[in-house]
Structure 1
Amino acid sequence: MPEESRTPRPLPLILAVAVAGGVALGAVDLIAQRELPYPWANLANSSAVWAVGAFAVGAWVRAGRWRPAAAGVVLLVVAVEAYYLAATLIQHDDLANLWAPTSLVWMAFGVLAGTVFGTFGAWSRSDTRWRALAGLAALGAVFFAEAGMLLRRLPGTEAQYRADDLATAAIMVVIGLVLIALLGRSWRHRAAASALAVPLAAVGFAGFAMAGYGG
């Protein structure tokens, strides 16, 4: 069925799913950081893992010019607030963290990342070949870019944390490759997406660096 003829999902349903997804992402992120052993706990607070949430809801929304991006934004912004609310309920952090400058900065990043990866998620399911390729490649690329940032900061990392960061970087590369393999439509599509993910990862790496991610 051509993209243009697909009936868009109802906006109330999109908002409900995005809000529910954001609440789940924020709460699970906090719990996973507390409960998982390292290096797996590092993944809970990974920007790439959060980007998957926006990507997934965008892929689910699929149709519409702005709805996938909007769904990604809502999911990530709600996830930030859900994270801080969960921190208040579980570990008795200050409730004022919900509106603190740090949370506002993370919500601003959520608007940017939600727009980008919500759109890429929709593109990954597109009937247009170049959009489908770019969408899948971007999903792998965000993991490769964050792995690169972890490797970049290794020289300045305390010795007891270097092994965890190195292991986390390796896990992220594997996740990126596995996602491309699982979501690719053919071996040609997977190979092309893997190749395109490399320059996209370089762009993402530069973006992380400019944003000050990874120190």
Structure 2
Amino acid sequence: MTIKRHAAVVAPGAGFLLGFLDYLWIKYLPSPVGDLGNSLATWAVAAFLLTYLHRWRLPAGIASAIVCLVVAVPSYYLAAALIQNDDWSNLYNTTALMWMGFGVVAGVVFGGGGVLARTSGMLRLPALALPAAMLFAEGVVNLRRISDPSYGAGEQGAYASLVFVLGLLITMLVGRTWRDRLLALAWSVPLTAGGWLLLTFASFR
């Protein structure tokens, strides 16, 4: 019961902070660092770390990650409305609902992954690879944009380099041993391919 109550407080609070601070990050930090605020991978990694750093079981972890990401969406638009007078309807319009839907999916995958990554089961190493795989997949998307005249080649290359480095760093942080880290990076290769296909299917290409 205590764990459930703890999750019920932490998850919405984390979601509010994620959305509000994400808007500030985008608005005030320069590219390519500021571009992390527009990153699906950033929110996915946040959901993973939320459940990885807490002692929740799988159902509570998944539910908490979903709540976090869903709350983060209106929180982001709330910040935009307060700071630059954006339309208040953005908090609940079709676009917001679409992002909340993505939040549910990401919460299941990455929230569940965060719980599994600290267990001793056979899914631990693939789960450890999830944050890096998502970051790497987004990096691949940006690298493929370099040849597209609609995008700035230098900006795309810089951002891809940034997320590749972050993918390596997050793996170093969540892996308990060098063996775990190396195996997680190995698992990240097929998972990156799967993530890239999902991003492409969702029109993030």
| TM-score, with structure 2 as normaliser | 0.95
> Of 142, 161, 167, which aligns to 2:134?
142
Structure 1 partner of 2:77: 84
**Which contiguous aligned blocks of 4+ residues in structure 1 show a shift greater than 6 angstroms?**
none
| Matched letter for residue 135 of structure 1 | A
Task: Return the alpha-carbon distance in structure 1 between the equivalents of residues 47 and 182 of structure 2.
Answer: 24
* 1:210 to partner: Cα distance: 0.5
Contact in 1 for aligned 2:143/2:156 (Cα 8 Å):
yes
Structure 1 partner of 2:204: 213
Contact in 2 for aligned 1:51/1:117 (Cα 8 Å):
yes
Q: Does 1:44 align with 2:37?
A: yes
1:12/1:202 CA distance change after superposition, 3 Å: same
| Matched letter for residue 155 of structure 1 | S
Q: Percent identity?
A: 40
* 1:36 to partner: Cα distance: 0.5
Contact in 2 for aligned 1:88/1:95 (Cα 8 Å):
yes
* 1:9 to partner: Cα distance: 5.2
Contact in 2 for aligned 1:18/1:72 (Cα 8 Å):
yes
* C-alpha distance after superposition, 1:42-97 (max 9, x if no partner): 11111111111110122134442311111110000000110001100011000001
- SS of corresponding position for 2:164: helix
Gaps of 5+ in 1: 1-7
Structure 1 partner of 2:53: 60
> Of 151, 161, 168, which aligns to 1:170?
161
* 1:157 to partner: Cα distance: 4.2
* C-alpha distance after superposition, 1:79-133 (max 9, x if no partner): 01100011000110000011111111000000000111000001111122x2221
1:107/1:78 CA distance change after superposition, 3 Å: same
Structure 2 partner of 1:195: 186
| Matched letter for residue 15 of structure 1 | A
* 1:201 to partner: Cα distance: 0.5
* 1:26 to partner: Cα distance: 0.5
Aligned length: 205
Task: Return the alpha-carbon distance in structure 2 between the equivalents of residues 30 and 166 of structure 1.
Answer: 23
| Matched letter for residue 179 of structure 1 | I
Q: Does 1:112 align with 2:105?
A: yes
- SS of corresponding position for 2:58: coil
CA RMSD of the aligned region, Å? Answer: 1.4
Contact in 2 for aligned 1:61/1:67 (Cα 8 Å):
no
1:36/1:98 CA distance change after superposition, 3 Å: same
| Matched letter for residue 191 of structure 1 | L
Structure 2 partner of 1:3: none
- SS of corresponding position for 1:155: coil
| TM-score, with structure 1 as normaliser | 0.91
